[in-house]
Amino acid sequence: MTLLHFNFFKRFFSNKSVLVLLLLGLSFTQSLAKGKSKKDEIVTITTQFGDMVIILYEETPQHKANFLKLAKEGFYNNTTFHRIIDDFMIQGGDKNSKDEDKTNDGAGDVGYQIPAEFNAKFKHVRGAVAAARQGDFVNPKRESSGSQFYIVENHVGTPHLDNQYTVFGQVISGLDVIDKIAEQPKGPRDLPLSDIRITMKVEKLKKKKITKRYGYSYSA
């Protein structure tokens, strides 16, 4: 074999090896990416009227991460749904609702806000989970409350709230529980006459299991 032929084969196999390594690296990276998305975390809200299971959207990452963090820390445990409006929504997540003073319910938070994460494909349909917030006159950027949230009870949704408040999740089991809570007797400021206390549990499951158990379909 001449030197010319030798250099040709050397370059050929060298380049081929680099190509193989690049392909292997790409395949490994894709496998890791797929592996990260095979599981998801669901949140179960337990009340005296039953359980609601919530899925949180990956497309609203800051809201999802914050809600999971607070739920895992136990922040929401022993809070109440402090505002209920039949045929509209139920609202909770206020730390003030843990105490016996009902006059301050609805005014508490965690001391920070979350930037709005509006997404046109997430609507205020029945069971939508969205972040409460202060009004536009003091909050022109429409940033979300750090802890307070509401769940849409109206069976045809509340489309007038779309792109006004960040929708970051959906109730995938227990829609009837929302109805039961919204129908409870209430007094001034839409405050239930009897406490509707909640606890939250976070569970990590395979997405296939979530789909099989709750019928929730992940978008491609």
| Averaged confidence pLDDT in the chain | 88
Q: How does pLDDT run across 192-220, given as a tens digit for each residue? A: 999 999 999 999 999 999 999 999 999 75
Q: Which of 169, 181, 220, 143 is nearest to 50 (CA)?
A: 181
The residue written with tokens 């979300």 in the block is 144
Domain ranges of the chain: 39-214
In one-letter notation, the amino acid at residue 157 is G
The fold adopted by the segment(s) 39-214 is: Cyclophilin (2.40.100)
Question: What is the greatest pairwise CA distance in the chain?
Answer: 96
58: its two tokens: 């990956």
Contacts of 64 (CB under 8 A, 6+ apart): 56, 57, 58, 168, 169
Q: What is the C-alpha to C-alpha distance for residues 150 and 105, in angstroms, rounded to an integer? A: 14
pTM: 0.84
Report the pLDDT value the prediction gives residue 220, as an integer from 0 to 100. Answer: 59
Q: What is the C-alpha to C-alpha distance for residues 207 and 220, in angstroms, rounded to an integer? A: 12
Tally Cβ neighbours within 10 Å of residue 4: 7
206: its two tokens: 């395979």
Q: What is the C-alpha to C-alpha distance for residues 82 and 209, in angstroms, rounded to an integer? A: 33
Q: pLDDT of the chain along its 220 residues, tens only?
A: 444 444 443 453 345 444 333 343 444 344 444 445 799 999 999 999 999 999 999 999 999 999 999 999 999 999 999 999 999 999 999 999 999 989 999 999 999 999 999 999 999 999 999 999 999 999 999 999 999 999 999 999 999 999 999 999 999 999 999 999 999 999 999 999 999 999 999 999 999 999 999 999 997 5
Report the pLDDT value the prediction gives residue 207, as an integer from 0 to 100. Answer: 96
Report the pLDDT value the prediction gives residue 2, as an integer from 0 to 100. Answer: 46
